[in-house]
Structure 1
Amino acid sequence: MDKKIIIGGIVVLLIVIVGAFAFMGNSHNDGDPTHLVVAAHSNIKEPKAGFNPLTGWGCGHQNYNPLVQSCLFKTDSNGTIVPDVATDYSISDDGKTWTVNLRNDIKFSDNSTLNAEDVAFTFNTAKDTESDLDLTNLANATAVNDTCVQFNLVEPRSTFIYDLRYVGIVPSDTYNNNTYGENPIGSGPYVLDHWDKGQQAIFKINDNYYGQKPYFTQITMLFPEESTWLELAKSGDVDVVPVATSSLNQTVDGYQFVEKSAGRAQGVSLPYLEDTGIVTNDSYKVGNNVTADKAIREALNVGINRTEIVNSVFSGHATPEYTGVDTRDYANNESKLVDGNITEAKKILADGGWTDTNGDGIVEKNGTKASFDLYYPPDYLDRQSLSTMFAEQAKEIGIEVKLVGADWDTIYANMYSSAALMQQTSPDPYKSIYQQYHSKEMDGFYMNPNLYNNTMSDALMEKAMSTNDMDQANSLWAQSALVNGQGWGPAGDAPWVWIANYDYNYFIKDGINIGNQPYGLGNDILINICEWTRA
């Protein structure tokens, strides 16, 4: 074996070991059973702006329990959104005004009373603060009285409940955007005791908390690199450790392997438009003459074997994904296709005019070879492995997929003209359906990366957004996936090849009981922290 390869391997191993021991050098476990040590999953990054919900802590691109702050609503063990700071709410007939009534017995950790002015301030400030949180549809929030807030929307939006669910409330009297992140005041079950940037944050119990008092009086949250997770678990020094893709077959003495579904859908976005020479406002190329052909997209959806891929890449800790929202209440099973059928996939290509004329195994049509680039982030082993297997299986049906590992800026710059391996986790259909598929989102933003558009799907999505009936909204979201043989589902226009629903997995120390958690929100392992105990 080449000495350079051996030395390179040793260097990588040393980096992993040194990284792990950087966290393990000073024991985080002080022996107190009511103290919990948690290694944060990579979806919960150490917040550069601090523990401020108005700049993205707990809400925005990823949603999770902010610990320090309370939200108007919460999710119960059945997955239902129920009141927390709020007591109830109502929606006007036109869907543009949401009125929320509040509890009158909540105090912030600094002993000031939480009232409607704080709630209105929080949302109005969040709207104008640069972050991943999208509140552009909120015209304003107004305190009607101390226990009533009115939210005025620009357009009706049935999904506004998700914004109310995840934005943590901050005190209007003392909030300072420059200092709040490091010294947050909230009404959640914990307060930030101190933050060692780059290492850990320590949260202690909030004596003013109005809800169920947590068993764990202190939480130490570590922010380690994914490469160190397994070593952290083996150290026995950390109570909760995420499981990396490379460790899915591992067991650790003294720990339970806990698997949580999160609707984490991973798949390949296929450019929907032909290459006509147009570019985006940022001069990014638009369109791909191979993937714009429906026969290519349909053949890929039918030909790949999702079960084989998820079993190989995720060792059984994932399930096949077909629509990107298979596990949600608004899924449409009729929009799925039966996959793993190479013969049928080849027939679809042949019927669409794609044939192998030169015997190289790759089909062509009118002189165009069925070949395209697939961009993926190489730092994620799961996505790299998915991309590799997708390319291998595509070749079996006569389609060449050329893999390109790249950073996110490069992926975003090429996603309108090349395939891209991406994922989505949000339970909010505004994010997982509307922003992914509505023609209004063809704006150069990273949502709707393939620039899909269909007027019939658009109309159903718009109806889903404007109704005040959540059951009706879910039905309309589902219908938009397949309408008259079209729609964004694989049995329709198939702008995506969704592949896997990858669970969130954790090593949790024996004796810790995490209670009854809602299905489909496994990315937020601390969602019900107040129910956790240790035997």
Structure 2
Amino acid sequence: MSSPAADSKPTEQTSQVAGETALQGSEELSSPGSDELVAAVGTHGGEPETGFDPISGWGYNHEPLVQSTLFKKDSEANLINDLATDYTISDDGLKWTVKIRSDVKFHDGEPLTAKDVAFTFNTAADASGSVDLSVLEKATAVDDYTVEFNLNDPQSTFINKLVALGIVPEHAYNSETYGSNPAGSGPYKFVQWDKGQQVIFEANPDYYGQEPYFKKLTILFMDSDAAFAAAKSGQIDLAEVPSTFADQKVDGMKIVSLESIDARGISFPMNPNTGEKTENGYVIGNDVTSDPAIRKALNIGIDRQALVDGALNGQGEEEFTGVDKLPWGNKEAIFEDGDIEGAKKILAEGGWTDTDGDGIVEKSDLKAEFTLLYPANAQERQALAVSMGEEAKKLGINIKVEGKSWDEIYTLCYSTPNVWGYGSLDPTDIYLRYYSKSYDPSTRNNVIMYNNPAVDNYLRTAITSPDQEAANKNWQLAAWDGTTGFSAEGDASWMWMATINYVYIMDEDLDIGTPKIQPHGADIFGSILEWKRA
């Protein structure tokens, strides 16, 4: 399995110069009509390296614009139909049957049928892309408007795959070229992609759903400073900006801060460093973080609200389990943090004391210190890492902060804590992060090599349960059952710090409706059909 909503190597961010070139190169962009929208919202996800192909990752966790999906989630995260009209699940959970609409056409005029749905899912499964379809045995078109999915494991979370993957046309799909010239059946048609600068979409006149107010949508690829400058000068309607810009005042513009389920957490390698290495030759284990006293002391001693206020400029919320806000989050695993004395007591009881007076506790000849990595191009993660280091000093733990490229992080994360980002409406994330058998160095699932048989049992029960209420209960018990769990109340396998807010500056007359819950990477266009100018 590959983690659907975890961090993946981002594409290179376009420079400020490239963004300015895009603006200067088109008079139309500098004075858009009322039904045209120019936005720079790619500071987190960046420009898609392989283009706008759902099979290679486009649209995962956010509105794909060009393609339709079988289902969607509304602003309350409830399942709603898109292409699908109904679905059933067999008693053994291994066969899912989905009925689809009969009135849908691709942008080239060809009808969309169950064959296209089956083709999309089978191709995506073979490609092993961003959408984890390892559970899918085969998708088959039963008739023109019925598709059958046969699974190799009865996973209740499969419904989320039917939300995630945009449908491509079998007759016009070429994996080498589709991303650069995609055709779909979504609310917008692809017009052009000027790599490194912008992509342009226009409204699909044959769309089966609600007609979008904005007839033309231009997305610019530029860094956050350039995007803010362009918005401030009136050249664009909407820009995603860092949390440090949240207090800015700009005439004719408003700041909108959207809450998210996008959590920032620190992975703690669970094993000591014994010289063991991964299949790829990367070092496994950390002698400091393998000690539960260290992990528990950090979890209870760090003041998360201080991290939010300082590192995130108040644009976020405390986070304790990585899924606090979700139906499968366990409220019993949330505790009072910022308890410095309690943390020091845990350390002392674990044998960690400062015998040489240097302010760092040690156990035998081992200092309580480790390196904390963060992706070098992630401003808010750097700020969180630095703040963590400052707070940890109060406990007698020395954290050395280092920014690295993702390529470097992927070789070091089995032995070195790292600041990760997760946030999905699919609880499969939990399974991949903590289930012992999900460890896979090629996907970075369970990078800490966590292994708790009781947690494994809860996770397997949750992911295979046909009853959603029973599944949620077992997800919660995996975090904390009163005795054990992956949360700080139990094994303290990670330290979750905060969920971040996504901050935007936009024209004050722009109405973005009721935004959907913002996942990892944001989904600002999730409510695009509700957007209009006030």
Please, what TM-score do these two structures have when normalized by structure 1? Answer: 0.94
Residue 410 (structure 1) aligns with: 408
Match of 1:126 among 107, 124, 127: 124
Match of 2:175 among 174, 177, 198: 177
Residue 440 (structure 1) aligns with: 437
Measured after TM superposition, the shift of residue 449 of structure 1 is 2.1
Residue 7 (structure 1) aligns with: none
Report the CA distance shift for 1:520/1:219 in structure 2 as closer, same or farther (over 3 A): closer
Report the CA distance shift for 1:20/1:177 in structure 2 as closer, same or farther (over 3 A): closer
Residue 4 (structure 1) aligns with: none
Report the CA distance shift for 1:279/1:193 in structure 2 as closer, same or farther (over 3 A): same
Match of 1:429 among 427, 449, 471: 427
- List runs of 5+ in structure 1 lacking aligned partners: 1-14
Match of 1:460 among 439, 458, 468: 458
Instruction: Provide the secondary structure at the position in 2 that maps to 1:488.
Output: coil
Q: Is the 8 A contact 1:354 1:365 kept in 2?
A: yes
In structure 2, how many angstroms separate the alpha carbons of the residues matched to 1:255 and 1:150?
A: 49
In structure 2, how many angstroms separate the alpha carbons of the residues matched to 1:178 and 1:379?
A: 29
Q: Is the 8 A contact 1:109 1:207 kept in 2?
A: no
Q: Is the 8 A contact 2:140 2:149 kept in 1?
A: yes
Q: Is the 8 A contact 1:286 1:416 kept in 2?
A: yes
Q: Is the 8 A contact 1:19 1:225 kept in 2?
A: no
Instruction: Provide the secondary structure at the position in 2 that maps to 1:384.
Output: helix
Instruction: Provide the secondary structure at the position in 2 that maps to 1:329.
Output: coil
Residue 53 (structure 1) aligns with: 54
Report the AA paired with residue 440 of structure 2. D
Match of 2:366 among 365, 368, 380: 368
Q: Is the 8 A contact 1:319 1:501 kept in 2?
A: yes
Instruction: Provide the secondary structure at the position in 2 that maps to 1:173.
Output: helix
Measured after TM superposition, the shift of residue 72 of structure 1 is 0.2
Measured after TM superposition, the shift of residue 135 of structure 1 is 1.2
> Which residues of 2 match residues 214-225 of structure 1 at below 5 A?
214-225=212-223
Alignment deviations for residues 165-188 of structure 1 (CA, whole Å, 9 cap, x no partner): 011111112222222222211110
Alignment deviations for residues 307-339 of structure 1 (CA, whole Å, 9 cap, x no partner): 111101112111111111111111111112311
Measured after TM superposition, the shift of residue 141 of structure 1 is 0.1
- Which region of structure 1 is more displaced relative to structure 2, 176-185 or 161-170? 176-185
Instruction: Provide the secondary structure at the position in 2 that maps to 1:140.
Output: strand
1:523 aligns with 2:525: no
Residue 495 (structure 2) aligns with: 497
Aligned residues: 517
- List runs of 5+ in structure 2 lacking aligned partners: 1-13
Residue 35 (structure 1) aligns with: 36
Q: Is the 8 A contact 1:457 1:483 kept in 2?
A: no
In structure 1, how many angstroms separate the alpha carbons of the residues matched to 2:156 and 2:53?
A: 26
> Which residues of 2 match residues 201-212 of structure 1 at below 5 A?
201-212=199-210
> Which residues of 2 match residues 237-252 of structure 1 at below 5 A?
237-252=235-250
In structure 2, how many angstroms separate the alpha carbons of the residues matched to 1:518 and 1:19?
A: 30
Alignment deviations for residues 102-123 of structure 1 (CA, whole Å, 9 cap, x no partner): 1111111111111111100110
> Which residues of 2 match residues 33-432 of structure 1 at below 5 A?
33-59=34-60, 63-431=61-429
In structure 1, how many angstroms separate the alpha carbons of the residues matched to 2:412 and 2:229?
A: 37
Instruction: Provide the secondary structure at the position in 1 that maps to 2:479.
Output: coil
In structure 2, how many angstroms separate the alpha carbons of the residues matched to 1:117 and 1:18?
A: 44
Q: Is the 8 A contact 1:95 1:468 kept in 2?
A: yes
Measured after TM superposition, the shift of residue 227 of structure 1 is 3.2
Residue 24 (structure 1) aligns with: 23
Alignment deviations for residues 408-437 of structure 1 (CA, whole Å, 9 cap, x no partner): 121121111111111112221102x11111
Measured after TM superposition, the shift of residue 16 of structure 1 is 7.6
Instruction: Provide the secondary structure at the position in 1 that maps to 2:171.
Output: coil
Q: Is the 8 A contact 2:243 2:502 kept in 1?
A: no
In structure 2, how many angstroms separate the alpha carbons of the residues matched to 1:198 and 1:192?
A: 16
Residue 5 (structure 1) aligns with: none
Q: Is the 8 A contact 1:301 1:337 kept in 2?
A: no
Report the CA distance shift for 1:327/1:482 in structure 2 as closer, same or farther (over 3 A): same
Q: Is the 8 A contact 1:16 1:227 kept in 2?
A: no
Residue 447 (structure 2) aligns with: 449
In structure 2, how many angstroms separate the alpha carbons of the residues matched to 1:50 and 1:351?
A: 54
Q: Is the 8 A contact 1:272 1:292 kept in 2?
A: yes
Residue 11 (structure 2) aligns with: none
Q: Is the 8 A contact 1:456 1:483 kept in 2?
A: no
Report the AA paired with residue 525 of structure 2. L
In structure 1, how many angstroms separate the alpha carbons of the residues matched to 2:108 and 2:330?
A: 48
Instruction: Provide the secondary structure at the position in 2 that maps to 1:118.
Output: helix
Please, what TM-score do these two structures have when normalized by structure 2? Answer: 0.94
Instruction: Provide the secondary structure at the position in 2 that maps to 1:373.
Output: strand
Report the AA paired with residue 75 of structure 2. S
Alignment deviations for residues 335-382 of structure 1 (CA, whole Å, 9 cap, x no partner): 123111111110010111111111111111122111111111221111
Instruction: Provide the secondary structure at the position in 1 that maps to 2:265.
Output: strand
Residue 485 (structure 1) aligns with: 483
Measured after TM superposition, the shift of residue 31 of structure 1 is 3.6
Measured after TM superposition, the shift of residue 130 of structure 1 is 5.0
Measured after TM superposition, the shift of residue 484 of structure 1 is 4.4
Alignment deviations for residues 251-298 of structure 1 (CA, whole Å, 9 cap, x no partner): 322112111122111121111112222111011111112111111100
In structure 1, how many angstroms separate the alpha carbons of the residues matched to 2:274 and 2:370?
A: 16
In structure 2, how many angstroms separate the alpha carbons of the residues matched to 1:78 and 1:248?
A: 25
Residue 532 (structure 1) aligns with: 531
In structure 1, how many angstroms separate the alpha carbons of the residues matched to 2:483 and 2:410?
A: 30
Report the AA paired with residue 95 of structure 2. T
Instruction: Provide the secondary structure at the position in 2 that maps to 1:528.
Output: helix
Percentage of matched positions with identical amino acids:
45
Q: Is the 8 A contact 1:233 1:252 kept in 2?
A: no
In structure 2, how many angstroms separate the alpha carbons of the residues matched to 1:316 and 1:81?
A: 31
Q: Is the 8 A contact 2:87 2:99 kept in 1?
A: yes
Residue 12 (structure 1) aligns with: none
Measured after TM superposition, the shift of residue 520 of structure 1 is 4.2
Instruction: Provide the secondary structure at the position in 2 that maps to 1:376.
Output: strand
Q: Is the 8 A contact 2:225 2:241 kept in 1?
A: no
Measured after TM superposition, the shift of residue 43 of structure 1 is 3.2
> Which residues of 2 match residues 465-480 of structure 1 at below 5 A?
465-480=463-478
Report the AA paired with residue 438 of structure 1. Y
Measured after TM superposition, the shift of residue 20 of structure 1 is 5.2
In structure 2, how many angstroms separate the alpha carbons of the residues matched to 1:133 and 1:43?
A: 19
Q: Is the 8 A contact 1:87 1:101 kept in 2?
A: yes
Q: Is the 8 A contact 1:23 1:224 kept in 2?
A: no
- Which region of structure 1 is more displaced relative to structure 2, 320-329 or 40-49? 40-49
